[in-house]
A and B are shown apart, each in its own frame.
Chain A
Amino acid sequence: MSIAVTIPPEKLTGTAVGKSTPKLENREKVLGRAEYIDDLYRPGMLHAAILGSPHAHARILSYDVSQALAAPGVVAVITGDDVPDGRMGAFIKDEHALAKGKVLYQGEPVAAVAAETLEQARAAVNLIEVEYEELPAVLSPEEGLAPDAPILHENLDAYFKVFDAGSKGNLCSRTELSEGDVDSAWAECAVVVEGEYTTEPQAHVAIEPCGALAEVDAQGRVTLWSANQSVFRVQANVCESLNLPMSRLRSLTPRVGAGFGNKMEAHVQPLTVALAMKTGRPVKCILTREEDFEIVRARHPFKVRMKTGADAQGRLIARDCEVLLDCGAFADDSPGVLGYALLMSGGPYRIPNQRARGKLVYTNKLRFGAFRGFGNPQVGFAGEQQIDQIARKLGIDPIEMRRRNMLREGDGWFAGPKVASNGLARCLDAVEAASGWARRDAISAAPGKRRGKGIAISAHISGLLGTGAIVRMLEDGTIALNTGATDIGQGSDTVLAQICAEALQVPVEMVSVASPDTDGSPYNWGTTASRVTYTTGRAVAGAARDVLRQAMDHAAEMLDVPVDQLELREGGRIAVKGANVDLPFAAISARAHWAKGGPIVGSHSLVFDEPTHDPKRAIALGLPFPRIGVFSFGAVVVDVEVDEVTGQPRVAEAWSAIDVGRAINPRLVDVQIEGGFVQGMGFALYEAMVWDGARLVNPSLMDYKIPTSADTPPIHSIIVEDPEPNGPFGAKGAGEIGLNPVPAAIANALTQVVGGPLHALPMTPERVLDQMTGQADEQPQGQGDEA
């Protein structure tokens, strides 16, 4: 359903980039032969089961594992006493492999059993006795900040932190950014809107639950397979928590049944390795769906307080944003989510005066962490509703309001990041035209329904940290690519192969892609932050250039012409410019392998190194990302229908345009847009993890609902290409941007339909009905449905 691919296929000169090549591993998947973590078996393998804490906050006094050890089939039991005092964490190292000394949330793993069968392991877990001293629990950030609150991490001061977090008591981190002078700017505003917004925890619900398989060889070296988004983060987390040198652990990946942030940092890998080390046998640990809900991680609940002001022409003057985040029991990626949410809180707009402040507070709940969007959907839910609110007050069309204020080419981002390519205006044009926005009031609702459209826009980075690529020319001139980037199903193996093929002018079929392996792959921080196409793609293009340079040197000697007279031709041939003389890669590689110079190995690595903060522009405190990334943009329009009897909302149709710089594989971009839309729609309309006190009440797919094929609309994906100057063939990321604006767009549409405001997610039938009937109380019957 791509409506506008802006570079038409016939204009592409390349062999691979810009083509919707089906993913390389699709056949394996449709035949059911792809192997995921639970499909792996090793000889003599044991199965693990986990004992979760019954308490939210308690001191562990003693363990009695004797009965469990004596149970049939049991080979080993581990508790906190069996793991070293190492701590892991992406920003603050506050987490052990297994609860040690204290438990910090209900369900937290306190012990694990390895047995001959899964049934035996599960049965034995219930025989472990743990004596606890219960402590009062902190169940909300407000409780955590109270002066006499019980403290979760007594040694917080001593923990290693990668940035100035300002941690204190239960305050895990705080971040503040400001630019211009917000406090005095309100005086210049003709309209000021203000509100509080809340969002609920969303579960990732990758259909594959998390799992790991570890074994130890005779030398004591560990091999670990796991469902992951980065074999390198797995390696780091296991080694930090178990005090192992990194060289003692090899981390590998099978196919991954998707990850949305949940498989980026550790889940069961550390305890699985601990069990394998204790037993000396391979151990597999696969979470049940319930455990996957209870002990991995989830999207942060946000409390956002936001104020926005504009002049009489609708030009934005100031925005102030304050957020309070529940961190859960461990920092995980939370400080990053806080910092990033604040950086994004102004949205893709020119706002001369901006301030964003936030606190992240430890509570006795499951850790919250990375989830597609990384805090951006939550602040966008607030910000994009305020843009509409101002537009309404001033009688400006919502799209026009956005046009007047959006970041233009050459504008920088709040606090300092540079923005190079910017296709936002084209995204807005595209969704406006495709959705028939101008005629939106003309569409009538079906009997018993009300109907209306809403819009929201967003920007998202792709970038962050280090990445590398190795490209080798094989003896026959075909190409082996090795990057260390885990393909979690989104198709990065295919996209990186396309980039490599394009750079070397060979067909994609001539490029093999190595599975990530910490022993043999160059470092890759991870498949996260919408970064693989952009950062790893750059590394691949660089490594391919390195190969080409070497091949050219060979060719120059072989043909006896200077390098500058040579050119690369389609099919993997190096030719003399303007002449009918060329050499295939096979001939060059044969020479390199057998006669002169040695095998051709190209490599390239990079780290994203442009500063986030420009001190001339803004003041920043506690910024977790000194260097961040390049910007993708997006706009989405939704057509929403509300049932007049129940208030139940339904998205009837959606149009989503994103600027990806250059679509290396347009179909894979479409699917990022569509999948992101639906995940955002679930977040907007029904998804919420619910706690009753310290207990998660809906850790099952029966009780926690995600969108199905029958409640999702047709989604028109629109690709906009505004090439990123240093992106591979102009590409930038597409992974998260499609989700970000969805809750806000739906809220804006619903506000049209039932009268706002809708300041709390999810926008359940109950909340919508309350709005609808509240409005009906104020207005005479029948006037509410002009939408």
Chain B
Amino acid sequence: MAGKEVFALQINGTRREIFAPGDATLLDVLRDDLALRAAKRGCNQGVCGACTVMVDGVPVRGCLTLAGACTGREVTTLEGFADDAAMQALQEAMILSGGVQCGFCTSGMLITARDLVAQTPVPDEPAIRSALSGNLCRCTGYVRIVEAVTDAALQLARQKDTKREAVE
């Protein structure tokens, strides 16, 4: 067990200081020290994806990332996307589609999906299925999650088009 240390982390746009074991993972400090509990622990081995969060805008496993390796980086959890239009579109689509059952996978799923729609504006079904394949869901059979991401991506693309038209 590593001794306790002070970490200064930039979380959801705010600087936070935490006193935690030196080998604590990002998931540990988010959940235990910062009470940011949207990210879940489903395996602690990097497989289930329930702990997925962003570091410097890139989705990573919270359970495989050490808090000590995040100093000087921007950590964003689902809570940090409260005002993000793309995330809101994904969230609304998930609510309507039925892609949320127990909800334990939902937070990680949304983070991965948010990254996908940012990188690939209108992903097709195989692209969505491939991108989400590291986020396990045992409840839904994925059909409605894929549907939600499709719907949200289309809606975001349309919004972008209208905005562009408005500018032109």
Contact = CB atoms under 8 A, between A and B. Distances in A.
A contacts B directly (C-beta below 8 A):
yes
A671 B95 contact: no
Interface in B86-140: 91, 94-96, 98, 100-107, 110, 125, 128-130, 132-140
Given A32-B37, A208-B40, A23 B104 contact: no
B47 interface: yes
A692 interface: no
B67 interface: no
Given A36-B104, A258-B104, A702-B47, A709 B132 contact: yes
B102 A709 contact: no
Nearest to B101: A489
A119 B110 contact: no
Nearest to B146: A709
Nearest to B126: A710
A258 B139 contact: yes
B42 interface: yes
Interface stretch (A566-574, A630-638, A672-680): A672-680
Interface residues of A, number: 60
A6 interface: no
Interface residues of B, number: 52
Contacts of B129: 709-710, 712
A257 B146 CA distance: 20
A31 B38 contact: yes
Contacts of B102: 206-208, 255-258, 488-489
B45 A709 contact: no
Dominant SS among interface residues on chain A: loop
B97 to A, nearest CB: 8
Interface string A17-61: 000101101111111111110110000000000000000000000
Nearest to B24: A119
Interface in A502-552: none
A701 B47 contact: yes
A577 to B, nearest CB: 39
Most chain B CB within a 10 A radius of its CB, from A206, A257, A700:
A257
Given A206-B102, A207-B104, A708-B133, A671 B141 contact: yes
A35 B104 CA distance: 10
24 contacts: A26-B100, A30-B91, A30-B94, A32-B37, A32-B39, A32-B78, A34-B103, A119-B21, A206-B104, A207-B40, A207-B136, A207-B138, A209-B41, A256-B102, A257-B103, A258-B138, A288-B44, A289-B42, A674-B140, A675-B138, A678-B142, A709-B129, A709-B142, A712-B141
Interface of B: 1, 21, 31, 37-45, 47-48, 50, 77-79, 82, 91, 94-96, 98, 100-107, 110, 125, 128-130, 132-146
Given A30-B95, A119-B21, 9 more contacts: A30-B91, A32-B78, A38-B41, A207-B104, A258-B104, A489-B101, A708-B132, A709-B133, A714-B143
Interface of A: 1, 20, 22-23, 25-36, 38-39, 119, 123, 204-209, 255-258, 260, 288-289, 488-491, 667-668, 670-671, 673-679, 700-702, 706, 708-712, 714-715, 717
